[in-house]
Amino acid sequence: MSRPSSDLASFRSRLKTARHIVVLTGAGISAESGIPTFRGAGGLWRKYEATRLATPQAFAANPALVWEFYHYRREVCLSKEPNDAHRAIAECQKRLASEGKDLTVITQNVDDLHHRAGTTGVLQLHGSLYRVRCTSCKKVWDDRNSPICEALADKGAPDPDTLDAEVAKEDLPHCPTCGGLARPHIVWFGENLDPKVLDATQRYLDECDLCLVIGTSSVVYPAAMFAPMLAARGVPVAEFNIEETGATAALGYHFAGPAAKTVPEALKAFESNEQ
């Protein structure tokens, strides 16, 4: 198999003619906003065992611990801003729409930074830190309060060595309708993705004629198979990452470097080409 190209001019010419662009993103796009990734240096899953915090079994065993973890991440992300990569994508979406073309962001991120940058119609494969669901009646609602409940105020990150949790279950967030225990509206390991989100994803992938895959290690399924599947169908796929991934060899382009630099460069050139 030939090596992926890093020829920006060739990528730009693809961008000029594409009509249905899909942008797949992972934690690396938010790294320069100051949000930790999962698997790289300083990554959350290097410090914490994912099975103790991001599975339905973990929540059933210790909901206070899981809430402390998600409360901490909510607070961190609320204090951060979208970066130049999020903004360049939002601007590009607007411009394409005015030309009768479309750009759809499909993200594994739960930080809401694409929305906050102004991108519309974002598909959040793994849910959002700012949505909550009742474990009893299944009602889903938005909650951007800081803190989400008084008992979690001033709690830092859980101690990775002890994974102790002090908050009583009755003081955790509860459903305003039925009073049941609330949980983060996040897709945990071993849980199915929302079928509506998956159906919409499939529709966009089916009609996509250019794909950008930005800041993901491409190891978590099903998201990890989307870009290689498109490439196998002959769709040009461009990876933007600070390092190569397991998917790189199967893709048409690889642009090495921090997304906040490489993505605006790639999309900005597209805009000036059009004038």
- Interface positions with ligand BV8 (CB under 6 A): 26-28, 31-32, 37-40, 43, 54, 108, 110, 126, 186-192, 215-217, 219-222, 240-243, 245, 258-259
* Contacting residue, 97, 137, 140, 219, with Zn ion by CB under 5 A: 137
Q: In this structure, are residues 175 and 139 in contact, taking their beta carbons and an 8 Å threshold?
A: yes
Q: How big is the CA angle at 95 (ends 92 and 100), to the nearest 5 degrees? A: 120
Shorter beta-carbon distance to ligand BV8: residue 20 or 253: 253
Residue 17 burial (CB < 10 Å; 0-12/13-18/19+)?
exposed
Q: Is the Cα dihedral 35, 38, 42, 46 positive or negative?
A: positive
Number of DSSP helices (H) and strands (E) in the chain, helices first: 10, 9
* 176 versus 246: smaller Cβ distance to ligand BV8: 246
Residue 252 assigned as binding residue: no
Verify whether residue 71 is a known catalytic residue.
no
Query: Is 242 part of any known ligand binding site?
Result: yes
Quick one: how far is CA 122 from the chain centroid? 10
Residue 36 partner contact from ligand BV8, Zn ion, none using kind-dependent CB cut-offs of 5 to 8 Å: none
Q: Which of 173, 178, 177, 187 is nearest to 110 (CA)?
A: 187
Give the one entry of Zn ion, ligand BV8, none that residue 146 binds, where binding means its C-beta sits below a cut-off of 5 to 8 angstroms depending on kind: none
| Residue in 40, 56, 180, 228 binding Zn ion, rule: CB under 5 A | 180
178 binds, among Zn ion, ligand BV8, none (CB under 5 to 8 A by kind): Zn ion
CB 22 within 8 A of CB 106: yes
Torsions phi, psi of 199, nearest 5? Answer: -60, -45
Size of the site for Zn ion (CB under 5 A): 8
Contact set with Zn ion (CB under 5 A): 134, 136-137, 139, 175, 177-178, 180
Residues belonging to the binding site are: 26-45, 70, 73, 108-111, 134, 137, 175, 178, 215-217, 241-243, 259
